[in-house]
Amino acid sequence: MTLAMTDSRQPQTGPTPEQVRRGRRTALLLFAIGFGPLVLASIMFYTGWMNPTGQSNNGILVDPPVPVSRLGLLDSDGQPFADRFGPMHPDANWMMLVANEGPCAEACQHLIYLARQVNVALGKHQDRMTRAAYLPAPPADLSGYPDMPLLQAGGTEAIQWPGDVDLKQAPQIYVIDPFGNVMMRYGPAMDGKAILEDLKHLMRISQIG
């Protein structure tokens, strides 16, 4: 009898059901705070929801968005390019990535120029947007673009660029969000004003980066 009473009074070693439920609610709340703005901004940008002007994007959406880690790119120091992004990275920003295969001819150089001009034209939002380039054969005058670091391939296999485009014939500007997702692209025929219109709209509705 005494043993039974002693056992019934032993303290619980695990969390109670109420503690488990409270922990789940806290985790969901933290997830909503961290990722909610990104999800909402993506929905608004892709669909035009709650957009009084009814504006649609000029670029081509990458649907579904592709994690930049799949590209296997490295920065100039040999570090994974994907490490620049993510919810835990304090300096993660939006990025325009100019990508080209082969010699950087006229169309490629035009996109490099456009990326810089559009970035500057973002005005008060220009610090939220960074630039980089994947150019296996960069032009000789790339030194005129000091804020556009060069990336390199991280493996021997061909990079599977979003959109299934031939970058030798049609270089692209890819837009990457601060969480490291390639979410839009622009070809060499795209007008700079159209790109700027998209990115200004994106900066207005996005609270990240």
Does a structural domain hold residue 179? yes
Q: Which domain holds residue 89?
A: 58-205
Which pLDDT score, from 0 to 100, does residue 88 have? 78
C-alpha distances in Å from residue 65, one per residue of 13, 91, 115, 185: 44, 21, 21, 11
Q: What is the CATH number of the domain that holds 187?
A: 3.40.30.10
Does a structural domain hold residue 82? yes
pLDDT, one tens digit for every residue, the chain (209 residues):
444 444 555 555 667 777 767 777 776 666 555 555 555 555 555 545 444 445 568 999 998 999 999 999 999 889 999 999 987 777 788 999 999 998 999 999 999 999 999 999 999 999 999 999 999 998 887 776 778 889 999 888 889 999 988 999 999 999 999 999 999 999 999 999 999 999 999 898 887 76
- Distance (Å, rounded) from C-alpha 120 to C-alpha 33? 30
Provide, rounded to the nearest whole percent, the portion of the chain with pLDDT above 90: 51
Does a structural domain hold residue 173? yes
Does a structural domain hold residue 178? yes
Does a structural domain hold residue 30? no
Does a structural domain hold residue 73? yes
Contacts 24+ apart (CB under 8 A), 80-85: 80/154, 81/132, 81/151, 82/180, 84/180, 85/176, 85/177, 85/178, 85/179, 85/180
Does a structural domain hold residue 41? no
The number of folded domains in the chain is: 1
Does a structural domain hold residue 91? yes
Per residue in 29-88, pLDDT (tens digit) is 665 555 555 555 555 555 454 444 455 689 999 989 999 999 999 998 899 999 999 877
